[in-house]
Each structure stands twice: as C-alpha cells, then as structure tokens.
C-alpha cells in the first residue's frame, strides 16, 4: 500500500491530519476481527482445522443446523451466546456436536473455559490426558493462523457465521448475492471465482456483525475474560531488529580530526591568540569533536546516547554556518553568541541562589558556574535572554543557512530521543512480542537487546562538513590533512 | 509478617486477587468433586496454576527478602484444625503453602490402583477443604502457591541423583538393574548395605531403628498403600521407601534454592533426609543457610506447644510476633549461643524459641 504524501495531509492547529482520518473516525477494537470476533468463532476454526476445508464445512453445516433447532433465537454462532444458554440446553447442543465430531476436536478450548464457569462444556469436551500445555498450544497455533482476517481459514469461518444468519431467516440479501454465498463452500480456494467470492463473504460478515452487538454486554465480558486468560497463559515471543555492522575504523578517523584541530589550535595561538571569531568557531568544532570522541571511546554507535551526539554535531554545524552568514550584518556576533550562552548559565546560577539550597551532590557545579558567569564581565552587566539565540529556533536557522534537510531528516529525529518522545521510546526501549495471544504487544527492553542503526557514518559526514567550514576560512595544509601518509610519500 | 499486604502495590493486590480466584475455583471444585466430576475439577486447578504461573514466579521472587520467605512443603495438607498455621508463621516474613493438590492429582492418574486412587481422592478433598479455609481466614498471612508443581526442577537430574544417593548406601558398586537382580530379601539388603547404614535411614516417624530391619520393613509395608501389588519383594519396597524420600528431599532442596525460600517441613522423616543430603553440599553457602533455617523451623514445629495458643486469635498472634521481633531475636540469640548447622544443639534451640515465644505471647495476655 502506498502511503500518503505529507502534502496530502491537512495541517490543523499544529497537527498533520491524515487524509483518511480527515473523513472518518477510527474503528473500535471491540469489534475488530482478531480482538472482537475470533474468540467467538474459534470453535468453528477448530473444526475446520481438524478436518480440513471440505469435511470441516460439512461437519459445521450439521452442527449449525442443530444449533438452529436447539437455539432458534441465535443468529450469530458466538461461543458467548452458547455459554449463555441454559445448562441443559447447552448439554443438548454439545451432545449434538459430539454426534458429529469427537471430543478431542474442541478439547483445546477446555484450557480456557474451565469447569467452575463452564461445567457443561468441560464435561462434554475435556480430555484430561491431553495436557494443558498441548491444548493451549493448539489454541495459539490456530489464533495465529486466523489472526489475518483475509486468510482462507478466516474467510471460511466468516462464511459459517453468515450461514447461520441465513439459516435463521433474519438475514436478507438480493438473490444474486445469495447465490454467490451458496456457491462459496462448493468452490475450492484455487478456483478463479473465489477472487470475487472471498471479498464478498468478508464484506457481508463485516456488515452482519452489527446484529445485536450493541446490546450484548455479555459479549464484551466474554472477550475481556478470553483475552485476559489466554494472555496470561502464553509466553512472550520476543523479537528485535539486528543492526549489526562491522566496527568502523573510528580510531584512525578520530586521530585525523584531532590532528586537524590541533593544527588550528596551534595556528590560533601562534597567529592571533585573541581572535574571538576563531575562538568561537574552534570552540564549537572542538565541542563536536569531544562528543565524537565519546562516541568512539564508549562505542556508542548503536546506543541512544549516540543519537544525542549526532544531534549536537548537526546543531553545532548549523550554528557555525549561521554565525558566519550573519557576521557581516552585526557588529560582533561572536561576542553576542558567547554572552547568550553565559547568560543562560547566569539564569541557572541565579535560580540556585534563590532556592537557598546547598545541592552539594548535584552534578551541576553551581559555584564553578558562577565563576564562569563572571569570567569576562561582572554579572551585574550580563543580561539573560530566555528565548533562542538570535530569537530563532534551530529549524529557522537551518533554513536560513540552506540546511533544511539536515534539520528535518536528522535533527528532528534525534530530538525525539533527547526529549524521550514515544517514537524514540518505542524504537529503542520496547521489543515486539510475536505472540498472537498477547495481541502482539510490546515489552520493555530491560535487557538492552534492541540496538539502533549506527550513527557513525552520519557523524563522520557532519564532522567533515564542520572541518570543511574551518578549512574554508583558515585553509588546511596537505601535510596536516593527510598526516603521516603524506610524509611517507 | 505476611499479614501485611500493602494495598498500594500491584504485586500485593495481584496476590490477593490470585488467592480469591483460587478460592472460587476450589469452592466450585469441592462441589464438583462431590458430584463425581473429578477429572474436570483437577484439570481446572492445573489450568488455573498454568495460567497464573508467571504471577506465582513473581510472588515467590519478590514478595519479601529471600531469607525471610518460608514454604510449607512436603506435606499432604496443612491441618488448620490442628493449628498447624500457628507455628508455620512464627519465623520469617512471608509464608507460602506449597499447594498439595496438583501433586496429589498425579497419584490419581491412569495407572494408579483403585485403592491408591481412592485414598488420593480422599486426600484431595481434605486438601481442598483446608485450602478453602486458609484462603477465607488466613490469606493475609499465608499464600497458597503450587511451588513444587510449577518449579522447573530437572526431574531426570533428581531421579539420577536419587538413584545415586540410594545406591551409595551399598558396599558393592551396582546399577538399578543389578540391584533388582541381587537384592530381593531383607537378608540381601543387610548383606549389601554398608556397615552401620541401617541406623541412618528411617521408614516413618514411628520407625524404631533398634528393631530388626525385617520388622521395620514389615511395619512400613503394613502401614502404607503401595502403588503396586503387595507381593513385591522386600528389596523393591526398600527401594520404594528410600528412593521416594531421597528424591523428595532433593526436589525440596532444588525447588527452594530456585526460589530462595526456606522449606518448612512438618514431617520429621522428610526433614531428616534433607539434613542427610545437605551434608553432601556442605560448601554451598546458600544450601547451608537454607538448611539451617529449615532445621530451626522444624525444631520450632516439633517443640511448639499448641495449648499456649488455644485461646489466642490468629491475627493477635501474628501481630505479637511482629511487635516482639520474634524471628529476628531467635536467630540473633542462636548466633550468640553458637548454634549453627554444624553444631545444631536442639535443646538450646528449643529453649531460645520457647523463651522468645513466651515474650511474644505475654504481649497478648498483657493487653
């Protein structure tokens, strides 16, 4: 299925609304095929599964006809409706079932519907020499098989549901459609006509499900109890994605970056130690390098922390470009940038002072921050700007310097990890369980099995772009660029 | 004490729910058993525990510190009418009754003889009755969990170790096939046993080791229902008795180590075999700790004077134990008195237990 383009969405109050949701409301879980109907029709599935399609359908035909006679008011062959019958009537029906199929066919259900709540059913179908585990395994296998509402087995079950509706006389349809329905059991699934018949059956069953649904609170209680029991019985089947890659040759690359930055630092000290612009640019680049070094040293390529690192590298690079682009229009953008950052520190220090708290064991070194705040200027003369630097969020800065794509394809994604948003939590900290009885839920990845795609290649690319800025301004000697390799040449 | 199940923690709430639901299953099962629906009743109990097995694991693993959890095990049922629950809750903070029903149901299986099956059914009914009473009256202090039934102990390993332990009592190196062919009469057993070994094992609580082995074995044979024909050889009965006890002790040890709970054993024969086997694992700190606490609990059970608590309400009794720090004081004083697993002085242990119990009970009478 092709997904809608972003441009096809409607943007309303800061939200992109999908084209589908713009015109219709969501489908409730209680009447979905898997959650809401499979538990009701599982018994029919067991008969079909045991005998195969042809024999299974004809056995079900006999059983549904008996049901029609014993409980004429029943329109849909829901197990919850059967359980709601008087115990004597239930026993009568179960005897009819047992006249058509042996007890082992429906025996798997006795691990869910036990004696204290379903005595008649248990007495009819229990075979205690089949272990609870084996009975449950059959249920799980079948649930998995019919979890797809379009599978052949699911469609056969849906046909049987319709069939009782027809027998009850409460379901009416045009003659042509009726002929189609009656044709269904006679055709094999390989028959070309089934390409049309199967969707017809499914569509009709979907429409038919509404009969008596809203009034039937019994059905909801049944579903709740069914899923609660089977989910408790089943074990999780966890799976996660492997993004294993050969370890990058990170050491060589880090050494190269280090060599280049050492060269610029030496150059600054030698040529112009008090050049503020160079200090700011080198400071930003060094900060990126230090984060990159952490990535390498602690091998964080596939970790959540790695996402924080690439995000900073992107932001640093955009900021460098932004400062350079706006340099000409301002008297001293470099000092402004420094004052903005130190001003942020001053806010924190001021709040700490106001709190009157000691916080000695905090990771924030408030006393030291206070010294930094007063490093070049008495803090009494230092303003504090509570908005973004230059009043622009990073998104606008990225657009301003022609790096919109870097922002929208990388920075935004990595921000989800830094802010602990659900997408990032789902990707990194939850593992999918493939168990049908757990309805494919997620479980917390406490064991840290799920690794993420490596950030290494993107880090290298952005770091190279950062170094490219410095090279563009200050140049780079080939001897430094190529290191020892050049000397050997 | 297990009496405190905080309402605000999910595990506590879930364990309460589990007991309530099990109570419901048992009440309906009790009625069903009376109607003869044995198969369905037992199957439902097994299914119930299978469904809730992960919660049982969670309760056993996290309800309280491992050193403070005791499991009433190796018994067919807890006789609350005889106030078995009073001594059981004296030591430790959490108390689990190892549900005997699933185990008993295994004795009712296809191959069992009618008499044996009938006796097992009687025991199941009795156990269901006691379980219902425990859930209705004492579930704030005692939780019923199928510990041994759900424990993933390696059955083959237990059987192998049990056979090994059994055969190690004989002078000759042999396997079970050789045992069956060589050891048939009591005379054969006496001839093959290592010297003095006949005093090391007992057949029952009433077994008198001063009697001849033939007499002891005859009394054992007369006192129990064997799951096979009565004319089997003495050698087979001897194996049946000892192998059963040895594998039971091994299973208790492995299960309790798995969950890190202390076995509370009422039956002195089972306690004796547990102590006997633990000597082979003397270097393992966990085993030593567990067996020492189990031994103290067994001594407490044997020396507990039930006349003293005849008129005391169970809740008052539990509260008095907590308020007087009974359990902690007993183990502190045992340590000070030099009572350890290697120097298990029963009379000193009994004295310390009695003194501390008197202090606890005085709190109730003082009120």
* C-beta of residue B73 within 8 angstroms of C-beta of residue B98: yes
Secondary structure of residue B45 in the 3-state scheme: helix
Residues A118 and A186 in one domain: yes
- pLDDT over 60 at B3, yes or no: no
* C-beta of residue B273 within 8 angstroms of C-beta of residue B246: yes
Number of H helices, E strands in chain A: 24, 5
pLDDT band at A291 (very low <50, low <70, confident <90, very high): very high
pLDDT of residue A294: 97
As a whole number of angstroms, the distance between CA A309 and CA A460 comes to 11
pLDDT band at B295 (very low <50, low <70, confident <90, very high): very high
Lowest mean pLDDT among A260-264, B108-112, B298-302: B108-112
- Residue A123 with chain B: CB contacts under 8 Å: 37, 40
Residues A341 and A472 in one domain: yes
* C-beta of residue B54 within 8 angstroms of C-beta of residue A232: yes
Across A478-483, average pLDDT: 77
Residues A150 and A25 in one domain: yes
pLDDT of residue B31: 92
- A126-149 pLDDT, tens per residue? 998 999 999 999 999 999 999 999
pLDDT band at A20 (very low <50, low <70, confident <90, very high): low
Residues A225 and A298 in one domain: no
- B246-286 pLDDT, tens per residue? 999 999 999 999 899 999 999 889 998 998 888 777 678 88
Classify residue A5: in a domain, yes or no: no
Classify residue A329: in a domain, yes or no: yes
Residues A266 and A222 in one domain: no
Chain B: nearest CA to A246, how far in angstroms? 39
Classify residue A369: in a domain, yes or no: yes
Residues in chain B: 367
Classify residue A386: in a domain, yes or no: yes
- B148-165 pLDDT, tens per residue? 888 878 889 999 999 998
pLDDT of residue A1: 54
pLDDT of residue A211: 60
A399 is written with which tokens? 């657009």
- B318-362 pLDDT, tens per residue? 999 999 999 999 999 999 999 998 888 999 999 999 999 999 999
- A71-83 pLDDT, tens per residue? 998 989 999 999 9
The stretches of A298-420 forming alpha helices (DSSP H) are: 304-326, 333-355, 366-373, 394-400, 404-406, 412-418
- pLDDT over 70 at A4, yes or no: no
Q: Count other C-beta atoms under 10 Å from residue B228's C-beta.
A: 12
pLDDT of residue A185: 94
pLDDT band at B307 (very low <50, low <70, confident <90, very high): very high
pLDDT of residue A374: 87
Going from the C-alpha of A458 to that of each of A89, A138, A289, A302, A461, the distances in angstroms are: 69, 48, 14, 12, 5
Classify residue A243: in a domain, yes or no: no
- pLDDT over 80 at A30, yes or no: no
Residues A74 and A206 in one domain: yes
Residues A328 and A213 in one domain: no
Residue that has been written with the tokens 């019919």 in this structure: A146
Residue that has been written with the tokens 């096939």 in this structure: B177
Classify residue A245: in a domain, yes or no: no
Is B31 at the interface with chain A, CB within 8 A? no
Chain B: nearest CA to A40, how far in angstroms? 20
Which residues on chain A place their C-beta less than 8 Å from a C-beta of chain B? 110-111, 114-116, 119, 122-123, 126, 128-129, 132-133, 136, 229, 232-233
Q: How far is CA A208 from the centre of its chain?
A: 33
As a whole number of angstroms, the distance between CA A140 and CA A129 comes to 19
From A208, A234, A260, the end of a domain falls on A234
- pLDDT over 90 at A104, yes or no: yes
Q: Give the contacts of A310 (CB within 8 A, at least 6 positions apart).
A: A410, A414, A455, A458, A459, A462
- Domain encompassing residue A454: 250-481
Q: Could you give the number of structural domains in chain A?
A: 2
- Residue B110 with chain A: CB contacts under 8 Å: 129
Chain B: nearest CA to A260, how far in angstroms? 56
Interface of B with A in 35-74 (CB under 8 A): 37, 39-44, 46-48, 50-52, 54-55
* Cα angle A395-A400-A404, degrees, rounded to a multiple of 5: 50
Percent of chain B with pLDDT over 90: 56
Lowest mean pLDDT among A250-254, A481-485, B186-190, B200-204: A481-485
Mean pLDDT, rounded, of chain B? 88
- pLDDT over 70 at A22, yes or no: no
pLDDT of residue A25: 47
Give the residue among A158, A211, A166 at the shortest CA–CA distance from A37.
A158
Residues A227 and A331 in one domain: no
Mean pLDDT, rounded, of chain A? 89
Residues A226 and A326 in one domain: no
pLDDT band at B112 (very low <50, low <70, confident <90, very high): low
Residues A295 and A167 in one domain: no
* Antiparallel, parallel or unpaired: β A430-433 and B143-145: unpaired
Residues A115 and A29 in one domain: yes
pLDDT of residue A302: 95
Classify residue A208: in a domain, yes or no: yes
Classify residue A7: in a domain, yes or no: no
- pLDDT over 70 at A434, yes or no: yes
As a whole number of angstroms, the distance between CA B273 and CA A170 comes to 71
Residues A358 and A467 in one domain: yes
- pLDDT over 90 at A327, yes or no: yes
* C-beta of residue A93 within 8 angstroms of C-beta of residue A67: yes
Helix (H) / strand (E) containing B216: helix B213-223
Across A31-48, average pLDDT: 92
């Amino acid at each position: 299925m092709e997904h809608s383009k972003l441009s096809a969405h409607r943007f309303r109050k800061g939200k992109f609304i999908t084209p589908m949701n713009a015109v219709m409301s969501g489908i409730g879980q209680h009447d979905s095929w898997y959650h809401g109907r499979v538990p009701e029709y599982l018994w029919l599935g067991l008969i079909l599964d045991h005998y195969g399609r042809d024999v299974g359908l004809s056995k079900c035909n006999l059983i549904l006809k008996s049901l029609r006679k014993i409980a004429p008011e029943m329109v849909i062959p829901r197990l919850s409706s059967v359980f709601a019958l008087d115990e004597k009537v239930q026993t009568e029906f179960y005897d009819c079932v047992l006249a058509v199929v042996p007890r082992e066919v429906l025996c798997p259900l006795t691990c869910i519907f036990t004696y204290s709540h379903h005595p008649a059913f248990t007495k009819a179908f229990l075979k205690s020499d089949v272990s609870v585990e084996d009975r449950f395994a059959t249920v799980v296998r079948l649930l998995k098989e019919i979890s797809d509402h379009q599978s052949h087995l699911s469609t056969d079950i849906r046909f049987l549901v319709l069939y009782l509706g027809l027998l009850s006389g409460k379901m009416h349809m045009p003659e042509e459609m009726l002929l189609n329905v009656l044709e269904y059991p006679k055709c094999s699934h390989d028959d070309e006509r089934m390409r049309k018949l199967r969707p017809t059956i499914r569509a009709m069953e979907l429409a038919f499900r509404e009969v008596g649904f809203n009034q039937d609170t019994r059905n909801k209680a049944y579903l709740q109890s069914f899923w609660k029991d089977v989910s408790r019985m089943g074990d999780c089947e966890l799976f996660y994605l492997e993004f294993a890659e050969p370890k990058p040759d990170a050491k060589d690359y880090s050494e190269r970056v280090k060599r280049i930055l050492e060269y610029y630092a030496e150059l600054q000290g030698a040529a112009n130690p008090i050049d503020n612009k160079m200090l700011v640019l080198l400071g930003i680049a060094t900060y990126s390098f230090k984060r990159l070094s952490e990535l390498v040293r602690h091998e964080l390529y596939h970790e959540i922390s790695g996402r924080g690192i690439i995000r900073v590298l992107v932001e640093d690079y955009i900021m460098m470009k932004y400062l350079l682009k706006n340099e000409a229009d301002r008297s001293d953008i470099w000092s402004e940038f420094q004052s903005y950052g130190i001003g942020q520190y001053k806010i924190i220090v001021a709040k700490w002072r106001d709190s009157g708290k000691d916080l000695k064991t905090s990771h924030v070194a408030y006393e030291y921050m206070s010294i930094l705040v007063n490093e070049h200027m008495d803090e009494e003369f230092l303003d504090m700007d509570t908005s973004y630097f230059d009043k622009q969020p990073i998104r606008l800065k990225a657009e301003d310097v022609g790096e919109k794509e870097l922002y929208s394809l990388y920075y935004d994604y990595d921000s989800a990890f830094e802010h602990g948003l659900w997408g990032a939590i789902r990707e990194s900290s939850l593992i999918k369980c493939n168990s049908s009885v757990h309805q494919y839920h997620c479980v917390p990845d406490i064991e840290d099995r799920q690794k993420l795609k490596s950030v290494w290649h993107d880090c290298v690319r952005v770091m190279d772009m950062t170094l490219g800025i410095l090279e563009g301004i200050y140049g780079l000697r080939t001897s430094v660029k190529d290191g020892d390799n050049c000397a050997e040449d | 004490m297990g009496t405190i199940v905080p309402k605000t923690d999910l595990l506590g709430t879930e364990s309460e729910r589990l007991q309530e639901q099990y109570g419901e299953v048992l009440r309906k099962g009790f009625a069903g058993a009376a109607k003869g629906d044995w198969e369905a009743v037992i199957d439902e109990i097994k299914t119930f525990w299978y469904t809730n097995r992960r919660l049982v694991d969670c309760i056993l693993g996290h309800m309280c510190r491992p050193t403070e959890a005791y499991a009433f095990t190796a018994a067919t049922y807890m006789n609350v009418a005889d106030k078995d629950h009073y001594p059981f809750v004296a030591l430790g903070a959490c108390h689990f009754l190892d549900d005997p029903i699933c185990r008993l149901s295994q004795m009712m299986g296809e191959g069992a003889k009618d008499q044996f099956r009938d006796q097992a059914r009687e025991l199941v009914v009795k156990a269901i009755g006691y379980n219902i009473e425990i859930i209705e009256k004492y579930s704030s202090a005692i939780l019923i969990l199928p510990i041994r039934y759900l424990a993933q102990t390696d059955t083959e390993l237990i059987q192998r170790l049990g056979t090994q332990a059994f055969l190690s009592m004989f002078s000759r190196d042999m396997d079970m096939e050789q045992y069956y062919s060589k050891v048939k009469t009591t005379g054969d057993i006496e001839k093959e046993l290592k010297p003095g070994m006949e005093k090391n094992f007992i057949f029952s609580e009433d077994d008198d080791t001063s009697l001849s082995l033939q007499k002891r074995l005859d009394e054992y044979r007369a006192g129990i229902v064997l799951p096979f024909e009565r004319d089997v050889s003495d050698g087979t009965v001897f194996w049946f008795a000892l192998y059963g006890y040895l594998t039971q002790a091994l299973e208790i040890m492995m299960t309790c180590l798995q969950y890190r709970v202390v076995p509370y054993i009422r039956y002195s024969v089972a306690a004796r075999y547990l102590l006997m086997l633990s000597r082979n694992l003397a270097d393992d700190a966990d085993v030593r700790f567990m067996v020492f606490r189990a031994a103290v609990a067994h001594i407490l059970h044997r020396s507990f004077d039930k006349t003293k608590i005849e008129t005391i309400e169970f809740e008052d009794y539990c509260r008095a134990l907590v308020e007087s720090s009974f359990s902690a004081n007993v183990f502190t004083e045992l340590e000070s008195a030099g009572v350890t697993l290697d120097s298990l002085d029963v009379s000193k242990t009994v004295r310390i237990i009695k003194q501390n119990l008197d202090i606890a009970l005085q709190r109730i009478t003082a009120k």
